[in-house]
Structure 1
Amino acid sequence: MNAPHIFQPFVVSDSELALFQTLFKQQIGLHLSDEKKALLASRLESRLMALGLSRFHDYYRFITGPGEAAAEELQQAIDLITTNETYFFREPAHFEFLSQSIVPATRADAPFSVWSAASASGEEAYSIAMVLHDTLGDAPWRVLGSDVSQRVLRSARRGMYPLSRCEHIPQPYLKRYCLRGVDEYTGQLLVERSLRERVSFVSMNLTRLPDTLGQFDVIFLRNVIIYFDLPTKIRVLESVLRYLRPGGYLITGHSESLHGVCVPLEAVASAIYRKPVNP
C-alpha cells in the first residue's frame, strides 16, 4: 500500500525573501519586511502550484524573465501581494469634510476633479462620486480611480458589490445611487449607471506616474503610503503633489503619518492637508 501523500507547505528561505523584497520594491515601491515570509508564501503558493513549481526561487526566475507570459504572471503576483481591503465611506469624517468644507469653497470656473489614488475595488471612488453628485449636481465634476492591481480594477469598473460591503453608505445615498440585486444577483448591490459613467478607473503605479494626469482639486491617498519605506514615501508624495492644484487638498489615512516628510502642505484637519496657493 502506498503511503498517503502529505502536503508539504511552501517555505520561503531568507535568500528567496530578499529576491521578492527587491522585486516588489522596484516594481511598486512596496516595503516587504522580514516578518512577511508567511504572508508571501500564503499569497503566492497557489501560483506555484498552478505552474508546477516547487520553489519560490523558480517562481521568481519565471516572473522576472522575458516574454508576455512572464509579464502577465508578474502582474498576478502584484495583484496577490497587495492588500486591497476597503469599504464604502471608510473614515467618514473625510467625506464630511469634502462635502461641507471643500466643495462649497471651490471655484466654479473648471470641472471639480478628485483622484482616488489607491482606489482598490472602487468603493472609495464611488463614495466620492456620491458626495460630488449630491453637492454639485449637474455642475461639471470627475472622479479618477487608480490602482496597481488589475484584478481589483476589473471589479471597480463593474460597480457591483456584496451587500455586506455597503453597510456604511448613508441611507439617502443608498436609496438614490444604488440598486439592490434580484434573482441571481441577490445579495449584491450595483452602483447606479449614471454615477458609474462619471467615474473612470486606470491602472497606475504610484512610483511611476505618467505625465498626462492633469490637475486635481482633491487627492485621496489613503491607506497606501503606510506600505512604503520613508524614501519611497517621500518620492511618491512629491510625485503625487505635482498633480494637486495650489489650494487643493491631500487626504491620507488616519493611521498614516507624514512625520519626517518635508513636503509643501499645511495640516487643516486629521489626515487632511492643503497645498498652499503661494508656497
Structure 2
Amino acid sequence: MSAETISQKEFDQFRQLIFEQAGITLSDAKKRLVVGRLGKRLRHYRLQSFGDYFNRLMSHQLEPQELQVVIDQLTTNETHFFREPAHFDFLREQVLAPLGPGRRIRVWSAASSSGEEAYSSAMVIHDRLGEGTWEVFGSDINRAILQRAQRAVYSMNVAHEIPEHYLKRYCLKGVRSQEGAFLIAPELRKHVRFEQVNLNAPLPNIGEFDVIFLRNVMIYFSLQTKQSVVARMLPKLKPGGYFIVGHSESLNGVTDSLELIRPTLYRKPL
C-alpha cells in the first residue's frame, strides 16, 4: 500500500489513539488530514504503511517523543488575536472594570494554541490594571505550538487583528532576523506563562482562576468527553469566576454547576 493511502482500519487506529490521548473525535472526513500530517513521519522513518508506523509507535520502536509528535500533528490550532471580540469586551467592562490597579487576577487560556488568546487577554488586563501580580496562564496539549507561544513572535500579516492602541503599546516591530514580524512586549510577557496540559487527563496543580477560557475546542469532543473535561476544570474556577466558551459552543447538557449569564458566558455561584 502506498504511503499516501490509509486504510479504514489504519485510520480507525489513529482515530482511537487521538481520542484516548486528547479526547478529540476525528470524523472520516479527516482521513486526508491524517495522511497529510502523518505521511511525513512515514517518510522520516522510511516506512511503507500507516499500519507499520502505528504498530512501531505502540511497541515503542520509534523515537521516545514520537507519540507527542503524533498528538502535535493531529491537534487543530487555528486561532487569532481578539477572536470573538465580545469576550474581551466582557473581560474589560464586566470583570476588570470594578477592580483597582494592582489587583490580583488569574486567567486561564485552556486551549491556548500559539498564544494569541493569552496575549490578547494580557493586553486587556495590563491596559486596565497596569503592573501587579496578575497572571495569564496558557495551556495546550500540543508541545510544538506552545513553543511558538513562548517565543511570542508573530507575522505582521496578523497585526490587523489587534486594536491599534494595543498594537502600538504592546507590540514591537521586528528587525533583522525578525523583520516582517512583531514581538509581544516584555512588560506583557512577564505576566504570561505557558505549560503543556492535557485536559483529558488529571490536571496538574495550577491553582485557581478568576476567568477560564475554553473556546473552540469542545467542538472536537464527544458529549461524554465535554462532561469529563469541564468537571475536571471546574474545581480550578474560583466561586464567582467566569467560564467562557466559543460562540459555536454551549454547556447545555454538559454541566449544571454554572449559571448562564448570556450565551457562551457562565459564572460559578458564590
TM-score greater than 0.5 by the shorter chain: yes
Alignment of 1:257 with 2:250, yes or no, is yes
Contact 2:174–2:180 (CA<8 Å) still a contact in 1? yes
Per-residue CA deviations over 1:189-213 (Å, capped at 9, x if unaligned) read 1000121111000001001133411
1:120-139, aligned counterparts within 5 Å? 120-139=113-132
Q: Would you identify which runs of 4 or more consecutive aligned residues in structure 1 move more than 4 Å? A: 106-110
The letter for the 1-side match of 2:35 is A
1:176 aligns with 169
How big is the shift at 1:65? Answer: 2.2
How big is the shift at 1:183? Answer: 2.8
Larger Rg: 1
Picking from 11, 16, 25, the partner of 2:5 is 11
2:207 aligns with 214
The letter for the 2-side match of 1:78 is I
2:180 aligns with 187
Alignment of 1:46 with 2:54, yes or no, is no
The letter for the 1-side match of 2:155 is P
Q: Distance in 2 between matches of 1:110 and 1:193?
A: 20
Percent identity of paired positions between Structure 1 and Structure 2: 47
Q: Distance in 2 between matches of 1:166 and 1:49?
A: 36
Q: Distance in 2 between matches of 1:108 and 1:174?
A: 21
Partner of 1:164, secondary structure, is helix
1:150 aligns with 143
Q: Distance in 2 between matches of 1:9 and 1:24?
A: 20
Q: Distance in 2 between matches of 1:188 and 1:107?
A: 34
Contact 1:10–1:54 (CA<8 Å) still a contact in 2? no
TM-score normalised according to structure 1 size: 0.92
Picking from 243, 264, 267, the partner of 1:271 is 264
- Consecutive unaligned residues of structure 2, counting only runs of 5 or more, are none
The letter for the 2-side match of 1:232 is T
The letter for the 1-side match of 2:82 is F
2:25 aligns with 31
1:86 aligns with 79
Cα RMSD after superposing both structures: 1.9
Contact 1:161–1:189 (CA<8 Å) still a contact in 2? yes
Q: Distance in 2 between matches of 1:41 and 1:191?
A: 35
Q: Distance in 2 between matches of 1:241 and 1:106?
A: 23
Aligned length: 270
Alignment of 1:119 with 2:119, yes or no, is no
Partner of 1:53, secondary structure, is coil
Q: Distance in 2 between matches of 1:205 and 1:214?
A: 16
How big is the shift at 1:16? Answer: 0.9
Partner of 1:19, secondary structure, is helix
Q: Distance in 2 between matches of 1:259 and 1:70?
A: 42
